[in-house]
C-alpha cells in the first residue's frame, strides 16, 4: 500500500477482506512501531466498506469507520469516510497524537497515487517482448538457502502490473518463515517441498498451485530437489521480513 504509511515503512500483517475478516497494519515511524487493527463488518464492492478501527496506543477503545464511494458530479469518484468513536476517550487520544493531520496527509498521498495511475493509463502501451528464459539473469535469494530467482517478465519488459518469476531451490535448500507485503500466486514445475502457510503445512509437487495472501507467514523446505516453481506477484514495493528474527 503506497499511501497509508505517510512515507514510513508499512507492514501488512493481516488483510482478510470479507465480513468478519481481520486486518492489521504496522507503521514503522521514528517514534517506534504504531499498530492499527480491526475487523470488516460490511464489504459491498465496489461501493461501501465498514470496519472497526483500533490503535495500539489506545487499547480497548475501538472506533467504527464507514467508507463509501460515489460518483463525483465534477468527474471522478468521491471517497467519504465517517468515523464513529465508540468511546470518546479513544477519539481524544487519537486526535492528541496527531491523527487528524496524519489522515489528511494519507489522503493527499492517495490523491498522488491515483493521479500517477491515471497518467500511467494515458501512457502509450509498451511493446511486446519475447526472449529465451535461459537468457534471464539469475538472482541469488539471500534470505534463503540454495535458492535462486529469475524475473522472467516484469517492469523492464513493460509490464507495470505484475512480475512473473521463476524460483529454483536446490536439494537441502529453502526459505525460512517470513512474510511479504504482496500476495503470491504459484505453480510448481518440478520437485517436491514442504511449505508452511500460516499454521498449515503442505507437501507440494509438480502441477500443484498455491495462493499465499500478503502478510501471511510462509516457509519452504525442499524434500526432493531441485524444487522449481513459477511465482506471480503484483508490481508493487515488497519486503521480506523473517518471522522471529531480531
- All domains of the chain in start order, with CATH: 9-122 (3.30.530.20), 133-242 (2.60.120.10)
Q: pTM score, two decimals?
A: 0.53
Between the CA atoms of 16, 56, 181 and 1, what dihedral angle is there, to the nearest 10 degrees? 90
pLDDT value of position 190: 97
pLDDT value of position 31: 77
DSSP secondary structure code for residue 51 in this structure: E
* pLDDT digit string, tens, across residues 69-97: 888 787 778 888 888 877 777 667 766 76
Pairing of strands 184-197, 218-234: antiparallel
pLDDT value of position 174: 96
DSSP secondary structure code for residue 133 in this structure: G
Between the CA atoms of 144, 148, 153 and 154, what dihedral angle is there, to the nearest 10 degrees? 40
In angstroms, what CA-CA distances link 70 with 34, 40, 79, 161, 173?
31, 20, 7, 25, 50
**Residue 76 has which C-alpha cell?**
471522478
| E-strand stretches of 32-71 | 32-44, 48-55, 63-71
**Residue 204 has which C-alpha cell?**
507440494
pLDDT value of position 12: 86
Amino acid at each position: 500500500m503506497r499511501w497509508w504509511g505517510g512515507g514510513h515503512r508499512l507492514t501488512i500483517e493481516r488483510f482478510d477482506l470479507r465480513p468478519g475478516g481481520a486486518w492489521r497494519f504496522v507503521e514503522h515511524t521514528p517514534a517506534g512501531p504504531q499498530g492499527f487493527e480491526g475487523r470488516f463488518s460490511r464489504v459491498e464492492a465496489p461501493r461501501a466498506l465498514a470496519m472497526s478501527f483500533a490503535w495500539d496506543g489506545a487499547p480497548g477503545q475501538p472506533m467504527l469507520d464507514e467508507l463509501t464511494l460515489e460518483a463525483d458530479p465534477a468527474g471522478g469518484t468521491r471517497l467519504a469516510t465517517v468515523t464513529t468513536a465508540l468511546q470518546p476517550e479513544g477519539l481524544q487520544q487519537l486526535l492528541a497524537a496527531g491523527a487528524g493531520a496524519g489522515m489528511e496527509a494519507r489522503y493527499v498521498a492517495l490523491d498522488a497515487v491515483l493521479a500517477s495511475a491515471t497518467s500511467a493509463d494515458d501512457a502509450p502501451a509498451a511493446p511486446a517482448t519475447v526472449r529465451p528464459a535461459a537468457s534471464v539473469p539469475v538472482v541469488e535469494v539471500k534470505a534463503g538457502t540454495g535458492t535462486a530467482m529469475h524475473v522472467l517478465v516484469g517492469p523492464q519488459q513493460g509490464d507495470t502490473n505484475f512480475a512473473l518469476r521463476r524460483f529454483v531451490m536446490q536439494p537441502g535448500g529453502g526459505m525460512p518463515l517470513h512474510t511479504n507485503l504482496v500476495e503470491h500466486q504459484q505453480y510448481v514445475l518440478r520437485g517436491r517441498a514442504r511449505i508452511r502457510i500460516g499454521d498449515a503445512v503442505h507437501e507440494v509437487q509438480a502441477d500443484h498451485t498455491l495462493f499465499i495472501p500478503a502478510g501471511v507467514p510462509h516457509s519452504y523446505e525442499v524434500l526432493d530437489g531441485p524444487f522449481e516453481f513459477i511465482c506471480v506477484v503484483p508490481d508493487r514495493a515488497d519486503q521480506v521480513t523473517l518471522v522471529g528474527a531480531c
